[in-house]
Amino acid sequence: MFKAKNRLGLVFFPAFDWAISSTHPEREERLLYTQDQIFEEGIEDIDGIHFYNPIVAEERDIERVHFCVPDVKTRLTKSHFISVGGAIRAFKSIMDGEVDKAFALVRPPGHHAHRVVYGDRGFCVVNVEAVMLEKIRQEYGDLRVAIVDTDCHHGDGTQDIYWNDKDTLFISFHQDGRTLYPGTGFMDEFGGPSGYGYNINIPLPPGTGNEGFLYVLDNVVLPILDEYKPDIIINSAGQDNHYTDPITNMNFTAKGYAELNHRLDPDIAVLEGGYSIEGALPYINLGIILAMAGIDYSHVMEPDYDEEKLRQPMDITEYIKELSDTVYDRWKNRYELSRHNLKDTDVVERSRQIFYDTDRILEEQTQRFRVCRHCSGLNTVESRSSTGYNIFGITIPRDACSKCIDDGHKLYKNTPSGRYSNIYLQDRVNDEFFK
Amino acid sequence: MIVGLDMGGTHIDGVIVEDGKIINTVKKPTNRDNLFESIWTTLEELLSGYDKSNIRRINLSTTVSTNAIVEGKTSPVGMIIQSGPGLPTDFLACGDENVFISGYIDHRGTVVKELDLEEVERGLKLFKEKGIESCGVVTKFSTRNPSHELVIKEMAEKDFNPVTMGHSMSGKLNFPRRVYTSYLNSAVYDTFNEFADNIKKSMEREGIDAPLFVLKADGGTMNLSTAEEKPVETILSGPAASFMGINAMLKTDRDALLLDIGGTTTDIFFLADGIPLFEPLGIKIDRYKTLVRAIYSYSIGLGGDSSIKVEDGKLKIGPKREGRPYAFGGPMPTPTDAMIVLDLIEDGDRDKAHKAMDILGKELGLSIEDVAKKVLDTMGGIIKHEVDGLLYEINSHPVYTVEELLYGKEVQPEVINIIGGPAKVLKPILEEKFKLPCHYPENYHIANAVGAALAKTTTEITMVADTARGILSVPELEVYEKISRHYTLDSARDRALQLLEESALSLGAKEDELELEVTEESVFNMVRGFFTSGQNIRIKAQVKPGLIQELRSDRVV
Ligand SMILES: [Zn+2]
Ligand SMILES: [Zn+2]
């Protein structure tokens, strides 16, 4: 066999004994054909590619990121702890210098899981990337990180978790929310007061193909990353932009995914969605593995690939060019936009309804972000669910000043317990969780 | 009587076992230029004075194929390879001529693009022009659908022999390994068959009509006619012979560490609940990773004759052997010299052994005796260190289910069984290092031949039953049968065991010695759209490697 240019760590955990239900897209079969393809290609024999088993994440790893209601044990299955643990293991293999890059092929996915968790939405319960990243930050120190969400659905959970964090740049390109679940991910969702401009959405029209995706990558994502200069780039690697995906309407290909990963050059990729399990996943995953390992991926192709049929129409190309200009201009003007929007405010309030499609739960929440001159600012969430909970969550951010830390603890102590079914405090400075 | 012959690099050992007792043994040097001659003279000497009609079977472990590969004395092979989309292909070129053809089959076994017969014809013509007579034909996912390999074989058969087809080598998925395995099978085919013909003729001449079995790297045997078709299965059976020998002489049903400590190397093996650990996919020979099933074995450059140096104030033993021990006129101090100094061995020149330890002692500022003790302690330390590393790797092998990840079996040896010259000396040291009981047999020097003699016939199958396509396949048996949409895991399991038994019998197994087991099974609900379209059932089953009869006479220490 030959040698990979980049040492690549793979956590391949198909969870062959776990499903949301036996006919649900998140079922045992999902990575079966991907495994067949990886095995038949002899990936495990390539010099420089290493396979790792997941570790099992701990409750406190979840609590560092989420307010699980009523608690972590009630909301998560063993598979969730392993899926997250798989991503953590992959990230560790980079941090410990075992490999140069890593790809965690784990399930279930996580990018629709918000900070508050009442149940499963968009097949996600815990946010795999966020729990992974915060665990790594806790163990290895602060990192400036860019998460690029390449799933076809808007990564609304990841956006929510890093909404107010300018040290975690979140870029999501996805099928326009007016045409697809979860219905969010528009340009004006630009971040909280401390992270304004560091949450970037690029809603793409249905029918976007290789040309469009790579245009956005080259003209928006890569220039922004160049300026942002992250320590680590994470690809939140959903595969449902594929032209055969049953629940979306895009025209991306396996070779396109490989090319994207080659150009984006992420340090770590984590599998998100993607439900064309036979016609797409085996080829996309192979393409991503080869691209990340620095191996020629030009022979990767789907059985029914037809270049002509997948060519992107002119009007879509034009639309995407204009969109890209707008998004990039907004990034360039983020300080001005921020000054304009946040003039003289002490607290920014944001109220939303969140629907849990998988578990049929409706949540109403109000977040309050304190605008603090010394740190990202204390923030809180008040939330009630159709399942009868009524919670109050307080987050002291990683970079909190001493006043915000003190105020956070005071607020936790002084909030009358009778007013809420559950009160939580995340103290990220001291890595403590109170419930 | 059962006859066991083990052909090693330097010696051929022969034993006769009757009713669990070793009744005769012979040791002869190997003549590498005439392996058949070496075997035959050993066999003749071993059998002289015994009634040849009492021989129930002859089990032979041979290096014929291994040597041909390692020494590059193989036949030229023309490879026809259909690689389809995926990885780059140039690294697959292992034959003397390699023709890459178009067409492809996907992971479900669907023909996506048809064969181009003209391409195949052109390839075969090229082989003929180059004077190539042996072929290998391998297509990606041929285990799922062998139709392209079968068509090409039919085209090649009239002009070429052998024509090895990838899917007949193994049912496991790994295209590059399938290419290399098929190549090697064709490459050693002539050499092995010539050897087999000689053996058959000589046996006939001498009136020996006992069945002849050949040892495989997985610790089992196959009959000669199977070996003639799949000679690649005979490679690297040496470690398997010693492994089976240790098991014959020291029986255990627990997790165990097995060591074969020789002059140059130490071979490391493991048992899990008394069952051998296998290489996950297959053994590596020369630069080829193959699908040839093999006992898991790891060899380190550490033995009684390993040379010892002092580096950075520390003893460095091995990995090289520079010659015989110092006490036997060799150039460098060795562990054997240390054993002589400590009166653990009576052989050799004691003065020279002292001198050897003195050289090391001066550098380390230790007395002769202390150095000798330190040498043995270091040897034990190296073994412990290596074994710990291997166990870590073994116990972190990839798993794919929640169940296995959380509750999977870990190999944790509870006993150490050793063979080899230094076994007796190292026993107390290893017991101390591992904190485990350690055993060695008295007759360790014939363990390999005993292992070969007592090895049972083994085989393994890989089954996929896809009820949506309506096909059940066991590629290595060339079984592709129709099944109904309602086929279940239970019916697949029954069919697998039935096919496995038939296969074992055809390899020469006796019905009463068969121990069949399912090693892996899973079933996946296949859903297309919103409805279940079928079941995807996967089963692996094997004949457990084991002993034809228990050894009764050997004393265990
Ligand atoms: Zn998605
Ligand atoms: Zn503050």
Please count the CA atoms within 13 angstroms of the CA of B551 that sit on its side-chain side.
32
Give the Å distance between the CA of A192 and the centre of ligand 1. Answer: 24
How close does chain B come to A205, measured CA to CA in Å? Answer: 24
Count, residues in chain B: 557
Shortest alpha-carbon distance between residue A256 and chain B (Å): 14
pLDDT at B513 over 90: no
Is B376 within 8 Å of B342 (Cβ atoms)?
yes
Ion ligand 2 — residues with CB under 5 Å?
A 372, 374-375, 401, 404
The confidence score (pLDDT) of residue B554 equals: 53
Q: Name B308's Cβ contacts closer than 8 Å, sequence gap at least 6.
A: B315, B316, B317, B332, B333, B334, B335, B360, B375
- Whether the CB-CB separation of A252 and A261 falls below 8 Å is answered with no
Closest chain B C-alpha to A260 CA, distance in angstroms: 17
pLDDT higher than threshold 80 for residue B171: yes
Q: How much is the pTM?
A: 0.94
Among the listed residues A66, A80, A111, A112, the single catalytic one is: A112
- How would you classify residue B144: left for phi > 0, otherwise alpha for psi between -120 and 50, otherwise beta? alpha
Residue B223 has pLDDT above 70, yes or no: yes
Output the average pLDDT for chain B. Answer: 93
| Mean pLDDT of all residues in B286-313 | 94
Q: How many CB atoms lie within 10 A of CB B308?
A: 25
A-chain residues near B110 (CB < 8 A): 303
CB contact at 8 A, B412 and B388: no
Q: Which of residues 20-59 of A touch B (CB under 8 A)?
A: 22-23, 27-29, 32-33, 35-37, 39-42, 44-45, 51-54, 56
**What is the pLDDT confidence band of residue B549, given thresholds at 50, 70 and 90?**
confident
If you measure CA to CA, which chain A residue comes closest to B406?
A: A56
**Per residue in A147-169, pLDDT tens?**
999 999 999 999 999 999 999 99
Interface test with A, best of B142, B395, B407, B524 (most A CBs within 10 A): B524
Which of B82, B83, B87, B142 best tests the A interface by mutation, with the highest count of A CBs <10 A? Answer: B87
On whether the CB atoms of residues A254 and A131 are closer than 8 A, the answer is no
Place of tokens 């389809």: B84
Q: Say yes or no to pLDDT of A124 above 60.
A: yes
Measured from the alpha carbon of residue A112, the closest ligand is 1
| Residue corresponding to tokens 């899917």 | B167
Question: Residue range B295-311: average pLDDT?
Answer: 94
Are the Cβ atoms of B525 and A23 closer than 8 angstroms?
yes
| In contact, B181 and B169? CB cutoff 8 Å | yes
Helix (H, G, I), strand (E, B) or coil at B109: coil
Residue of chain B minimizing CA distance to A25: B527
- Measured in whole angstroms, how far is the alpha carbon of residue B505 from the centre of its chain? 21
CB A42 to CB B175 under 8 A?
yes
Helix (H, G, I), strand (E, B) or coil at A137: helix
Q: How confident is the model at residue A420, as a pLDDT?
A: 96
Cβ-defined contact of B402 to A18 (cutoff 8 Å):
yes
The residue among A405, A360, A365, A430 whose CA lies nearest residue A114 is A365
Q: Is the pLDDT of residue B450 over 70?
A: yes
* Distance (Å, whole) CA A238 – CA A395: 29
Shortest distance between the Cα of A287 and any Cα of chain B, in A, equals 8
The ligand with the least distance to the CA atom of A150 is 1
What is the pLDDT confidence band of residue B30, given thresholds at 50, 70 and 90? confident
Q: What percent of chain A has pLDDT over 90?
A: 95
Phi-psi region of B141 (alpha: psi -120 to 50; beta: other; left: phi over 0): left
* CA of A15 vs chain B CAs: smallest distance (Å): 5
Mean pLDDT calculated for residue range A203-211: 97
Residues from chain A that touch B525, judged by Cβ atoms under 8 A, are 22-23, 27-29
What is residue B385's predicted lDDT score, i.e. its pLDDT? 97
Average pLDDT over residues B385-409: 93
Q: Summarize pLDDT for A69-106 with one digit per residue, the tens.
A: 999 999 999 999 999 999 999 999 999 999 999 999 99
CB pair distance less than 8 Å for B87 and A290? yes
Whether the per-residue pLDDT at B233 is higher than 70: the answer is: yes
Number of H helices, E strands in chain B: 14, 27
ipTM value, please give it. 0.94
pLDDT at position A342 is: 78
Q: Assess A244–B contact: CB distance below 8 Å, yes or no.
A: no
For B407-444, write each residue's pLDDT tens digit.
Answer: 888 999 999 999 988 898 999 999 999 999 999 998 88
Degrees (nearest 5) of the Cα angle A249, A252, A257? 140
Closest CA to B67 of B151, B181, B192: B192
**B101 pLDDT more than 80:** yes
B40: which 2 tokens?
A: 């035959």
Cβ–Cβ below 8 Å for B289 and A1: yes
Percent of chain B residues topping a pLDDT of 90? 82
Rounded to an integer, the average pLDDT of B459-466 is 95
Confidence of residue B555 (pLDDT cuts 50, 70, 90): low
Per-chain mean pLDDT for chain A: 96
pLDDT at B154 over 70: yes
Return the structure tokens found at B250. 């020291």
pLDDT digits (tens, 9 = 90+) for A335-385: 999 988 877 789 999 999 999 998 999 999 999 999 999 999 999 999 999
Alpha helix (H) residue ranges in A191-253: 210-216, 222-228
Task: Please indicate whether residue A409 is annotated as part of the active site.
Answer: no
> In this predicted model, what pLDDT tens digit does every residue of B475-506 receive, in sequence order?
999 999 999 999 999 999 999 999 999 999 99
Domains in chain A (CATH in brackets) are 3-334 (3.40.800.20), 345-434 (no CATH)
C-alpha dihedral (B353, B358, B360, B366), degrees to nearest 10: 130
Amino acid at B247: N
pLDDT digits (tens, 9 = 90+) for A235-294: 999 999 999 999 999 999 999 999 999 999 999 999 999 999 999 999 999 999 999 999
Mutate one of A40, A79, A283 to test the B interface: name it (highest B CB count within 10 A). Answer: A40
Q: Is B90 exposed, middle or buried (0-12, 13-18, 19+ CB in 10 A)?
A: exposed
Whether B553 shows a pLDDT value over 80: the answer reads no
Ligand 2 center–CA A421 separation, angstroms = 28
Alpha-carbon dihedral B283, B285, B289, B290, rounded to 10 degrees:
-60
Question: Could B177 and A42 be called an inter-chain contact, meaning their C-beta atoms sit closer than 8 Å?
Answer: yes
Per-residue HEC secondary structure of A320-352 comes to: HHHHHHHHHHHHHCHHHHHHHHHCCCCEEEEEE
CA B517/CA B543 separation, integer angstroms: 6
Go through the domains of chain B in sequence order and give each one's CATH number: 252-441 (3.30.420.40), 460-543 (no CATH)
The model's confidence at residue B347, banded by pLDDT at 50, 70 and 90, is confident
**Could you give the dihedral angle defined by the CA atoms of residues A157, A158, A161 and A167, in that order, rounded to the nearest 10 degrees?**
-170
Q: Chain B residue with minimal CA distance to A282?
A: B107
B402:A1 CB<8 A:
no
- Which has more pLDDT, A206 or B347? A206
* Residue from A261, A270, A229, A254 nearest A89 by CA: A270
Evaluate if residue B50 carries a pLDDT over 90: yes
Q: pLDDT tens digit string along A64-74?
A: 999 999 999 99
